[in-house]
A and B are shown apart, each in its own frame.
Chain A
Amino acid sequence: DTAVSQTPKYLVTQMGNDKSIKCEQNLGHDTMYWYKQDSKKFLKIMFSYNNKELIINETVPNRFSPKSPDKAHLNLHINSLELGDSAVYFCASSQEGWQTEAFFGQGTRLTVV
Chain B
Amino acid sequence: DAKTTQPNSMESNEEEPVHLPCNHSTISGTDYIHWYRQLPSQGPEYVIHGLTSNVNNRMASLAIAEDRKSSTLILHRATLRDAAVYYCILRYTGNQFYFGTGTSLTVIP
Chain A interfacial positions (CB closer than 8 Å to B): 4, 31, 33, 35, 41-45, 48, 50, 55-56, 90, 92, 94, 96-99, 101-107
Contact = CB atoms under 8 A, between A and B. Distances in A.
A56 B94 contact: yes
A107 B94 CA distance: 23
Contacts of B42: 106-107
Interface of B: 30-32, 34, 36, 38, 41-46, 49, 51, 85, 87, 91-92, 94-99, 101-102
A66 B12 CA distance: 41
A45 B51 contact: no
A104 B42 CA distance: 9
Contact of A45 (B46, B91, B97): B97
A97 B49 CA distance: 13
Contacts of B45: 104
Nearest to B48: A101
Given A45-B97, A48-B96, A99-B32, A104 B91 contact: no
The 9 A-B pairs with the shortest beta carbon distances in the complex, nearest first, are A104-B43, A101-B46, A43-B99, A98-B32, A98-B91, A104-B44, A31-B95, A90-B43, A99-B32
B44 A101 contact: no
B12 to A, nearest CB: 20
